[in-house]
Structure 1
Amino acid sequence: MGNTDKFEMIANIYDTSERIQIAKVASDAIREYLVDANNKNAIDFGCGTGLVGMNLLNDFNSMLFLDTSQNMINQIKQKISNSNIQNAATLCFDFEKDSLSDLHADYIFMAQVLLHINDVELVLSRLYDVLNVGGHLLIVDFNKNEEIVSDMVHNGFDQVKLTDIMTKIGYRDIQSKTFYTGSKIFMGHDASMFILDSQK
């Protein structure tokens, strides 16, 4: 996944009050789309230090925290250990390089992760393979913002175009909406965030 090196370096200082606040907003938005999730298993994809997934731990039967950065995974392992959490596991893995045939989940959520992924369609199709039939992929990310020019990340996403890509892969019942606007939350710019729910 893109920018792994950067995340390796900032893992131990990642949990700023701003990031914690945005993670709470994202996890609250995700929670609205969960249906009978307490007997389901989830993957926090691109989990970072687990800020979003930790907020949702009690909503699921079990959760796998997955990231390409080993240092981020080490941070979440520490949190799991410190809190004596029994229903969580971790995995350091890069879906842009490989696919995992033996991994399956009822829910996959990714918060501000897609913008770091170079080949969006490839990763979304590999996640489709991981989902159980009837499972949900939930994406929280920034709406497209032309003011942001970066060779590190996508400058957000057009919800309609993203829906088209996902429909082509096979996702169905796709719905999305803008749910949050904040000042200077995307590379120093004001930005809005959307949530997209889709099913296999």
Structure 2
Amino acid sequence: MERKNFDIVASTWDEEPRRVKLAADIGAAIKDTVPLSADWDGMDYGCGTGLLTLDLAPALHSMVGLDSSQGMVDRLTAKCSATGIQNTRAIRCDLEQGEPPVGPFHLVTSAMTLHHILEIVPLLTSLRGLLHPGGWVALADLETEDGSFHDNPTGVFHHGFSREELEGFLAQAGFTSIAVRKATTMRKGERVYSVLLAVAVNP
């Protein structure tokens, strides 16, 4: 299966206003849904350039951005250096390839990453293994769409997800207290796409 090369788009990723807005909207939905604490250590899976990572970092004790793209990790590291952010760091790591993760965490987040993951339940099981007992996941991704969202389908394995699918995946991975809500919408051209937020707890 061919994966998308995110290294080649890392340097210009933040220049798309809708991506910046989407991350802020998802961050707001997470803050509205999850009881964040200044004592918590968090991890943002598939962090990209850290748009969501840095949005949530001020509310937490620490934040780790995890991504398989070195280019994206370098961008987040540069942002932290440029702005003097002390509680956030970026790590290149590919959980799908079984690379050793860091942790444990009180919160694991992800924004618009799941549709690039071939096998969802094994990944969610890995994420649950990174959480403290009672820790939360908050995962945002497209609601089921017709395949028109991506101009280039390389590395896109799912055209979004239904609420029922996300609930089922999380249950299979062993999570409890599962809830799925609409986080925001994203406009591309004439089309408007719905983005869901799924939250759950590691029992």
Q: TM-score, normalised by structure 2?
A: 0.90
C-alpha distance in structure 2 between counterparts of 1:119 and 1:29, whole Å: 26
Matches for 1:115-194 after TM superposition, within 5 Å: 115-148=115-148, 150=153, 152-153=155-156, 154-184=158-188, 189-194=191-196
Alignment partner, residue 201 of structure 2: 199
Give me the CA root mean square deviation.
Answer: 1.9
Q: State the secondary structure of the residue aligned to 1:96.
A: helix
Query: Aligned-pair distance for 1:83?
Result: 1.1
Is residue 12 from structure 1 mapped to residue 11 from structure 2 by the alignment? yes
C-alpha distance in structure 2 between counterparts of 1:126 and 1:119, whole Å: 11
Query: Aligned-pair distance for 1:151?
Result: 5.3
Query: Aligned-pair distance for 1:146?
Result: 2.5
Query: Aligned-pair distance for 1:103?
Result: 2.3
Alignment partner, residue 83 of structure 2: 83
Task: Give 4+ residue runs of structure 1 displaced > 4 Å after superposition.
Answer: none
Q: Deviations over 1:40-89 (max 9, x none)?
A: 00001100000111111110000001100001000000011111111112
Q: 1:170 to 1:91 in 2, by over 3 A?
A: same
Q: TM-score, normalised by structure 1?
A: 0.91
C-alpha distance in structure 1 between counterparts of 2:53 and 2:98, whole Å: 23
| Structure 1 portions without partners, runs of 5+ | none
Q: 1:4 to 1:63 in 2, by over 3 A?
A: farther
C-alpha distance in structure 2 between counterparts of 1:116 and 1:102, whole Å: 21
| Structure 2 portions without partners, runs of 5+ | none
Query: Aligned-pair distance for 1:155?
Result: 0.5
C-alpha distance in structure 2 between counterparts of 1:173 and 1:165, whole Å: 13
Q: Deviations over 1:8-52 (max 9, x none)?
A: 100000002221111111111111123142110000110000011
What amino acid is the match of 1:152? G
Query: Is this contact kept in 2: 1:2–1:116, CA < 8 A?
Result: no
**Percent of aligned positions that are identical:** 25
Q: State the secondary structure of the residue aligned to 1:81.
A: helix
Query: Aligned-pair distance for 1:101?
Result: 5.8
What amino acid is the match of 1:11? A
**Count of aligned positions:** 197
Is residue 108 from structure 1 mapped to residue 121 from structure 2 by the alignment? no
C-alpha distance in structure 1 between counterparts of 2:36 and 2:73, whole Å: 28
